[in-house]
Each structure stands twice: as C-alpha cells, then as structure tokens.
C-alpha cells in the first residue's frame, strides 16, 4: 500500500530513562564516564595501530575500522542523551529522529559485516597460514570495509525509505532516549502490521545470518586450533577468545531487539543503553586487555611519549 507523507508531527518527545532527578544525575555521571572512555579508547586503538609497524596486518587494519565505527556509534545518540538529563521537556525534530534511525542502522549493519570480515581473516590465518598474506592483502581488506559500509547504508536506507513517508498525525512520545525504529513506527496513524513484518524481516535476517556465519566460522576455527598444540595455537586461541567475546556481547541485544521488536518490556530501554553506550566500549577494553600485541604497542607508544617530554 502506497502512502503519501501526511505527517503533521514536527517533533517527537523522548521519555528518556527515568523521571527521577536523582537517577538522572546518576545516569549522567555513569554514562558520561562510559562515553568518554569509549571514544578515547577507540581513538587510542586507531592511533596505536597506525603508529606501530608491527600491527600493520589485515587483522589490525580491520580492528581499527571497527574502532572507527564504534566512535560513530558512540556519537549518534549518547551526547543528546547526556544533555537531555538536564532538560525537562526532551524533544527531537522529525528530521533529527529520522537521522538517528538512519545512523544507528548504518553503523550497526556495517559493524555486523565487519565482524564477519574479521572472522574470515582469522579463518584464513589459522586454516591457511601459508597463503594468508596472499589472500588477505590490503586490497581485499579495503573491499571488506567498503562492502561493510555499503551493506550498512543500504540496510538503513531500506528502513528509512518506508518510515519517512509514514503518516504521523498525533501521538509523538517515544519511550526511549533516542528514536528507536520500532517505537517510532508504532506512532504512525495507520495499521503498521506490514511495516512491523518488514522491519523484523530486514533487521532480523541480517542479524541472524551474520551471527550464524560467525558461529560456524569460529566453530571451525576452534576445532582447527584444538588439533594443534603449539605456542602459536595458544596465541591464536587468546585472540579468538577476544573476537568471540565481542561477537556474543554485540549480537546478543541486537538479535533480542529484532526477534521481538514490537513486544517491549520495561527492561528494553536499559538494554538499548547497553547496545548504544556500552557496546562501543567492548572494542578497546577487550582487545587492549586480551591482546598482547596491542598491549605491547601501547607500552611502546607510552614510552615514546614519556621520552619525548
């Protein structure tokens, strides 16, 4: 069914996380620390990888691009959420709301595809080590990054193309701290069943297909590693553990949201916080704490900075 844009809603009201002033102060302090740590941590990873020649490899090239996406994801809604803790009437323009939907799905779709690319990189490194440098050349890595962004943007545009023309003629309260697509669709003055199915199909399929591809890839890699008993295999297993941890923590909330996108519980908005604020923290924390190469490069960069002073 085709619809013209009959929207008379010029802005949406964001209900936020809580009406309690004390809780909002606590959330501001907590999420401010998380936001700053996330942005600085991911910037640090990009700087470390760029400045250390020992990290000039496909895995770290993809990791630095993952950090860049996480920086973007940290900034699409969190700064406004922090400001809104001190605003009684939390609003966002119609255009701003559509922009948030577009940015969120672009970044999330891109990150999913990039995680699949990183799994492929580990699959080649462990399964075909003699051919690794030939297969995983810089050109292929750039193609992977381009594809991840292209898929993310196309995934987002496919949502926005239908959402922007929905007739919003009255209800405008979004029970979250940002414009979450399922919650915005529910405000349309029409039967949204078809839109709900399209959202479920689009987001659910990309989430589940990427997750299944990652599970299969890492299962094969783990089986290959277990058959070996060298120190290199121990290092590979440590790296894999970091990758798998990121995948599980990233895809857990994502799959939950889009398998049951229109059946919301009160806990869902706090899971949204985890997904938008805490997930970008995973990259610097997990990779810096579990990866010896990154920790070694961090120490060398710190020593260089100290000696330069």
Q: What is the pLDDT of residues 197-224, one digit of tens each?
A: 887 787 778 888 888 888 888 888 888 8
Q: What is the pLDDT of residues 75-109, one digit of tens each?
A: 999 999 999 999 888 999 999 999 999 999 999 89
Q: At residue 2, does pLDDT exceed 50? A: no
Q: Which of 3, 18, 2, 31 has its CA nearest to residue 275?
A: 31
Sign, CA dihedral 90-93-98-103, equals negative
At 226 the pLDDT is 77
Residues 67, 211: Cα–Cα separation, whole Å:
19
Q: Where are the beta strands (DSSP E) in the chain?
A: 11-14, 91-93, 173-174
Q: At residue 148, does pLDDT exceed 60? A: yes
pTM for the model stands at: 0.87
DSSP 128-165: -GGGHHHHS-HHHHHHHHHHHHHHHHHHHHHHHHHHTT
**What is the distance, to the nearest Å, from the Cα of residue 69 to the centroid of all Cα atoms in its chain?**
7
Contact call for residues 182 and 86 (beta carbons, < 8 A): no
At 68 the pLDDT is 95
At 256 the pLDDT is 67
Q: At residue 296, does pLDDT exceed 90? A: no
Sign, CA dihedral 242-244-246-249, equals negative
What is the residue whose two structure tokens read 């810096």?
Answer: 288
Q: For residues 237-247, give the mean pLDDT.
A: 75
Residues 186, 194: Cα–Cα separation, whole Å:
12
Q: What is the pLDDT of residues 111-126, one digit of tens each?
A: 999 999 999 998 898 8
Q: At residue 142, does pLDDT exceed 90? A: yes
Residues 211, 229: Cα–Cα separation, whole Å:
28
At 230 the pLDDT is 60
Q: How confident is the model at residue 232 (pLDDT cuts 50, 70, 90)?
A: low
For the chain, give the mean pLDDT: 84
Q: What angle do CA 171, 174, 176 make, to 5 degrees?
A: 170
Q: At residue 271, does pLDDT exceed 80? A: no
């Amino acid at each position: 069914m085709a619809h013209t844009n009959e929207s008379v809603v010029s802005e949406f009201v964001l209900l936020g996380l809580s009406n309690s002033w004390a809780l909002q102060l606590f959330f501001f302090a907590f999420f401010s620390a998380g936001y700053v740590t996330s942005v600085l941590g991911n910037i640090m990873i990009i700087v470390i990888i760029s400045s250390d020649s020992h990290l000039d490899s496909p895995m770290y090239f993809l990791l630095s691009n993952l950090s860049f996406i996480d920086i973007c994801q940290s900034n699409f809604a969190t700064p406004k959420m922090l400001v809104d803790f001190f605003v009684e009437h939390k609003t966002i323009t119609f255009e701003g709301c559509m922009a948030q939907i577009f940015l969120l799905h672009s970044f999330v779709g891109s990150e999913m595809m990039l995680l699949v690319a990183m799994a492929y990189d580990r699959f080649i490194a462990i399964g075909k080590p003699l051919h690794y440098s030939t297969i995983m050349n810089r050109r292929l890595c750039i193609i992977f990054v381009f594809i991840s962004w292209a898929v993310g943007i196309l995934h987002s545009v496919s949502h926005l193309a239908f959402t922007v023309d929905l007739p919003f003629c009255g209800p405008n309260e979004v029970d979250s701290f940002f414009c979450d697509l399922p919650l915005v669709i529910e405000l349309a003055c029409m039967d949204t069943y078809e839109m709900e199915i399209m959202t479920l199909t689009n987001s659910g399929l990309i989430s589940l297909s990427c997750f299944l591809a990652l599970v299969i890839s890492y299962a094969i890699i783990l089986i290959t590693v277990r058959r070996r008993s060298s120190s290199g295999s121990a290092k590979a297993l440590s790296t894999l553990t970091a990758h798998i941890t990121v995948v599980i923590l990233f895809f857990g909330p994502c799959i939950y949201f889009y398998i049951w996108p229109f059946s919301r519980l009160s806990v869902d908005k706090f899971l949204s916080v985890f997904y938008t604020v805490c997930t970008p923290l995973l990259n610097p924390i997990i990779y810096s704490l579990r990866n010896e190469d990154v920790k070694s490069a961090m120490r060398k960069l710190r020593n260089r900075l100290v000696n330069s002073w």
